Amino acid sequence: MTAVLTPMHDDLRPNIELLARHCSALLSAGCSGLLLLGTTGEANSFTLRERRALLEAALAAGLPNDKLIVGTGCCALGDTIELTKHALSQGIARVLVLPPFYYKDVTDDGLFDAFATVIEEVADDRLRVLLYLIPQLTGIEMGVDLVTRLAKAFPGTVAGLKDSSGDWESTGALCRALGDTIDIMVGTEALLLQAMSAGASGCITAMGNLAAREIVELYEKRDTPEATARSGAINELRLALQTLPVIPALKAHLAQTTGDGSWRNVRPPLARINATE
């Protein structure tokens, strides 16, 4: 799956036409699903109204709701509940939910209560929650004990997680403990082969915006001798981009390869990368 970038007009409004074309190309390349309004999609740089409008416009442009996951996590639980209900009203059951991330010194009990509140207030049997683990941005650690507790309390509803920590010790522990119970998706194709062998289900990766077909082929050939070589080729591109701020770098690369300079547009506090950088 690809964590989709959000293209923008020069006035920084979402460019829905370009988003729809980009998403259609990703699905044609073999992506099994698309994450809209995650970290890569700059979700927390948009207002609630903008996030709802973007999703509605993307669906109106023809994107299939059964292929979409939507990021709905916010600091305020009421906002998370509102966006989650909205996603369901649009026929999208799968949502990626951050923990409330402003307060850092929080307990597992507090985090459990936060996710439980969202699930209980949404109160919809269709709901499928993917917990979003990205401690380098949220400052919140969510370990095996908490995830196991949530999965047991809300079987079927807590359907999986996206682990974007990049910490194999943490990811491996989650795979061993929960790989047979929920879908564990790593946040980078760099860990895909290792994670799949440990029980993960796949990955949701920003690099799919640039190399979707290559990553799909890596997934499909993960058990073959050529998988390591395929992974190395993708890693070279990712490592080159990681010398720059990742989201602006991904957008700058798309601007260069497509010839559409509007891909460079990002919302502050991110800053665009120009052709000379």
Instruction: Give the pLDDT confidence score for residue 69 in this predicted structure.
Output: 98
Whether 275 shows a pLDDT value over 80: the answer reads no
181 band by pLDDT with thresholds 50, 70 and 90: very high
Whether 225 shows a pLDDT value over 80: the answer reads no
Instruction: Give the pLDDT confidence score for residue 76 in this predicted structure.
Output: 98
Is 276 inside any structural domain? no
Kindly tell me the sign of the dihedral angle through the C-alpha atoms of 262, 263, 266, 271.
negative
Is 91 inside any structural domain? yes
CA 195 – CA 187 distance, rounded (Å): 11
Quick check: 233 and 214 in contact, CB under 8 A?
yes
Instruction: Give the pLDDT confidence score for residue 276 in this predicted structure.
Output: 58
Is 268 inside any structural domain? no
List, for residues 19-70, the tens digit of each pLDDT value. Answer: 999 999 999 999 999 999 999 999 999 999 999 999 999 999 999 999 999 9
Residue 131 C-alpha from the chain's centroid: 10
- Domain containing 17 — which CATH number? 3.20.20.70
Mean pLDDT, range 192-214, rounded to an integer: 94
Is 66 inside any structural domain? yes
Is 174 inside any structural domain? yes
Is 45 inside any structural domain? yes
The DSSP result for 85-153, as a single string, is: HHHHHTT--EEEEPPP-S--S--HHHHHHHHHHHHHHH--TT-EEEEEE-HHHH-----HHHHHHHHHH
Q: How many domains does the chain divide into? A: 1
φ/ψ bin of 139: left (φ > 0), alpha (ψ from -120 to 50), beta (otherwise): left
User: What is residue 241's three-state secondary structure?
Assistant: helix
Is 196 inside any structural domain? yes
Instruction: Give the pLDDT confidence score for residue 136 in this predicted structure.
Output: 96
- Smallest Cα–Cα separation from 35: which of 10, 7, 58, 5? 5
CA Rg value for the chain: 18
Q: Tell me which residue range forms the domain holding 141.
A: 2-212
The count of other CB atoms within 10 Å of the CB of residue 141 is 16
Active-site amino acid positions: 39, 102, 132, 162
List, for residues 235-274, the tens digit of each pLDDT value. Answer: 888 888 888 999 999 999 999 999 999 999 999 999 999 8
Find the range with the poorest average confidence among 52-56, 206-210, 224-228.
224-228
Is 248 inside any structural domain? no
CA 129 – CA 192 distance, rounded (Å): 21
Average confidence score pLDDT of the chain? 95
Mean pLDDT, range 172-191, rounded to an integer: 95
User: What is residue 238's three-state secondary structure?
Assistant: helix
List, for residues 108-128, the tens digit of each pLDDT value. Answer: 999 999 999 999 999 999 999
